Amino acid sequence: MKKVLVLGAKGMAGHVVLKLLPQLGSYDVWGIARNIDESDRLINLDVKNTDKLSAIVASHNFDCIINCIGILNKEAEDNPDKAIWFNSYFPHFIESITRNTSTKVIHISTDCVFSGKMGAYTENDLKDGYGFYAQSKNLGELDNNKDLTLRTSIIGPEVNENGIGLFHWFMSQNNDVELKGFTHAFWSGITTIELTKTIHAAIEQNITGLIQITQKNKIDKYSLLQLFNTIFKSGLISIRPNSDYHVDKSMVSIRTDFNYKTPEYDAMLLEMKQWIEQNNYKY
């Protein structure tokens, strides 16, 4: 059995990883988050208390630490100091305190390290994203022979009522609204359920370095919202196509050593719907 620590266990990615990973394999999963109700495997801790975090890591001999902590777009731009600490410094801090151990750090990065001017970005392309979010996430990526950065973009349900993710925003809309869907804004990401499955596969196959986890066929945001509407809202929301905004942050992976195939978008979303129904989200 592998002993795993999830950092950011209340966030959009972290809470799913915490709950789903032990269903996928033989894992003893622990979690750390701020303002969380403690139990035998949940620790209430602000990770800026690095002395206490270091002591926890040193005393538990984790096989894997999954870093799901991140300061997101607007908060990063409004609070550059927080963005630099959490997005840039912190992943390298975790790497440094586990460097001479067998503990693998798995860090989650973002397609926003790219500007979106080109599309179909590979692992070797120049990270030309601008702003504190893009640049702080860029600096936080780990690329070595022991640890792993999963560069991706995720959608999924949230336990935080004030969450800012695209799916949470959509599900919070009334059925009588009319939304804009950008027909020239392209995406190639995955659900948080699929992210957890990818993490499991990467642990099983001992993948290291940096790899992009994507759906091989990009989708525009208008079509993605239409899928949300069909699967989760019975087509009740009116979505108007809009071609004003142009961006393409789609990614492809040129690595050939990871044996895993990401499902199609509709399959991922249907699986996410089942997960939501089974886990009593407030949607």
Domain ranges of the chain: 2-161+190-214+249-267
Q: Does the pLDDT at position 254 exceed 90? A: yes
Mean pLDDT score, 94-112 = 99
What pLDDT shows up at residue 163? Answer: 87
Cβ of 145: how many Cβ atoms within 10 Å? 6
DSSP state of 112: G
Q: Does the pLDDT at position 282 exceed 90? A: no
At 197, the pLDDT band (50, 70, 90 cuts) reads very high
What pLDDT shows up at residue 283? Answer: 85
Identify the CA nearest to 146 among candidates 200, 196, 197, 95: 95
Q: For 2-161+190-214+249-267, which CATH class?
A: alpha beta
> Which region among 173-177, 191-195, 265-269 has the lowest average model confidence (pLDDT)?
173-177
Residue 6 CA to residue 195 CA, distance in Å, equals 13
Identify the CA nearest to 12 among candidates 166, 115, 127, 121: 166
Mean pLDDT score, 252-276 = 98
CB burial of residue 209 (10 Å; 0-12, 13-18, 19+): middle
Mean pLDDT score, 58-80 = 97
Cβ of 30: how many Cβ atoms within 10 Å? 21
- In this prediction, what percent of the chain has a pLDDT beyond 70? 100
What pLDDT shows up at residue 224? Answer: 98
What pLDDT shows up at residue 43? Answer: 98
Mean pLDDT score, 96-124 = 98
Q: Does the pLDDT at position 162 exceed 90? A: no
Q: Does the pLDDT at position 60 exceed 90? A: yes
Structure-token pair, residue 136? 């702080």
Which pTM was predicted? 0.97
At 89, the pLDDT band (50, 70, 90 cuts) reads very high
Angle of CA points 185, 251, 16, to nearest 5°: 90
What pLDDT shows up at residue 141? Answer: 99
At residue 283, what is the residue type? Y
What pLDDT shows up at residue 161? Answer: 84
Work out the mean pLDDT of the chain and round it to a whole number. Answer: 97
Which residues, listed in sequence order, are joined to residue 259 by a DSSP beta bridge?
Answer: none
Question: What's the pLDDT tens digit per position in 22-44?
Answer: 999 999 999 999 999 999 999 99
Residue 241 CA to residue 181 CA, distance in Å, equals 5
